[in-house]
Structure formats: C-alpha cells, structure tokens
Structure 1
C-alpha cells in the first residue's frame, strides 16, 4: 500500500479513536453528575422535611431555654424539653423511611449525630440533677466535632446555640 492509500484509513482510525474518547469522557461526566455527594444531603424530599422539622425544633428549643443562672431543676427541665424537640426532629425524619434516608448517604449519619447530641446533653442533665455538674462534652467522630458534622451537611438546620450552653 502506498502512502496515498493509508491516508483514508488513518483518517478513519483517528475519527473512531476521537469518538471513543469523547464517549468515554461524556459517560464519566454523566456518572459523576448523577452520583450522590457523600458530604451533602441532596434528596429534595429530605431537604424539605428537614427544613420544616428543624424550624419546629429551633422554635421549641428557644421556647424551653432558661438562663444558666436558673435553679437546677428548671435547667434540667429545659435540657429535657430541648432534647425532646430534637427527638421529635429525628422521629419526623425517620418517618421518611430508612430506604430514602439510606439512599442519600449523610442523612442517616446526620440523624445518628442528633442522637449523639441528645445522649451527651442527657448525661449532662443527669450529672446536673445529681449535683455533680460536669462540663458538656460533645464527641468527636472521624476527627470532626459533632456540631461541625451536624451543621455541614447542606441543610438549613444548625444546632441552636441554647443547646450548646445548657
């Protein structure tokens, strides 16, 4: 074969290679665009329900808050009422079903973290009620503080400050 006969074949091969490269690039881009971001809650239903449930939780926590100088029984009652507000938030979110929550990776972890906050605050309230007050200690999970994990999942649902300084 002469050089003139190779030119059409080389052009065809170049076109086929280019088409394959473009196809692979677009398929990778499509896959990336439709992959769940493990750091953010992205399901529209979860986001909508969480926004509403969080607003209710914030309102209930604000209504239950008492000053740190309040008598111990009143402070313990406020902590328990605020914890009940968080428990209601978690129950509302669990009403969406485990399948939906598991499908958007950080959603179930986020709910577990709210449970961890309630557990830490409950331990603080028990120590306070037993007249052995200890500082509120929040756990660190995978090197991240609990409040940071709760506040940074892409939801409009920050931990109310009254819950961090009982």
Structure 2
C-alpha cells in the first residue's frame, strides 16, 4: 500500500469510529432524557396539584398561627388547626391515586414526609398539653433532614416556617 492508500483507509476508519461515538452518545442522551429523576417530581399534573394544594395550606397555616405567649390550650388548638391544613394537602395529593404518585418516584415519598411532619407536630402538641413540653423532633431519613426532603423535590411548596416552630 502506498502512502495515499493509507491516508484514504485511515480517513474511512476515522469516519466509522466517529459515527460509532456519535451513535453511542445519542443513545446515552436519549436514555438519560427519558429516565425518571428519583429526586424531582416531573409529572406536570402532580406538580400543579401540589402547588395549588400547598398555596391553600400556607394560607390556612398562617391564619391559624398562635403566638407562643398564648395559653397552652390555645397554642395546642393552633397546632392542631395547622396540622389539619397539612392533612388537607396530604388528602389532596392522595386523591391523585397511589399508582400516579408511585409512577413519579419522589411524589409518594414527599406525601409521606408531610405526614411525618404532622406526626412530629402532633407529638409536640400532646407533650405541650400534658404540661411536659419536649422539643419537636423532626426525623432524618437517608441522611437528609425532613425539611430538606420536603423542600427539594422540584415542587413549588416549601415548608412554612410556622410549621417548624410551633
């Protein structure tokens, strides 16, 4: 083979290799684009429902706020009313159906995490009512605080600060 033939053969090999590289890259991009991100709610219907229900919950939580200087009975009533507002958010999300929530991985966990917040607040309210208040303890799950898990799923629904300091 002459030098010219080697160059032609080398150019053909380079074109084939480049084509294979491009094909593999496009295949990887396609699979990435169609994969469910386990950390972010991606279904529009779920995100819209969550945003709407969350706005309602925030309004009700703010309307039920009771100062820490109020009598214990009134404070417990405020905590319970705020928990009811969060429970309405949970019920609204569950009305979408477990299949739909499970199909977008963090959605079901997100709803579960709101229930965990209600459980922690309820335990605090009971301890307050008993006259032996204990600090509210929020769980850590998979190395993340409950608030991190609730706030970082790509849904327009941050935990109101009023829920964290009853």
TM-score scaled by structure 2? 0.91
Structure 2 CA distance for aligned equivalents of residues 74 and 161 of structure 1? 19
CA-CA distance at 1:140 after TM superposition: 1.1
- Aligned twin of 1:65: 65
Question: Which residue in the other structure is 2:116 paired with?
Answer: 116
| Distance across 1 between alignment mates of 2:106 and 2:39 | 6
**Counterparts of 1:71 and 1:4 in 2: how far apart (Å)?**
95
In the alignment of these two chains, the number of paired residues is: 166
Q: Check if 1:78 corresponds to 2:58.
A: no
SS at match of 1:92: helix
Post-superposition shift, 1:7?
Answer: 5.4
SS at the partner of 2:51?
helix
> What is the 5 A alignment of 1:12-161?
12-161=12-161
User: How far did 1:65 drift?
Assistant: 1.0
Q: TM-score, normalised by structure 1?
A: 0.91
Please give the alpha-carbon distance, in whole angstroms, between the structure 2 residues aligned to 1:160 and 1:36: 28
SS in 1 for 2:32: helix
- Structure 2, unmatched stretches of 5+, are none
Counterpart CA distance in 1 for 2:60 and 2:104 is: 27
SS in 1 for 2:36: coil
Task: Identify unmatched segments of 5+ residues in structure 1.
Answer: none
Q: Distance in 1 between matches of 2:58 and 2:4?
A: 77
Q: Residue 132 of structure 1: SS of its match in structure 2?
A: coil
Counterpart CA distance in 2 for 1:5 and 1:163 is 76
Shift of 1:84: 0.8
Q: What is the deviation of 1:46?
A: 0.9
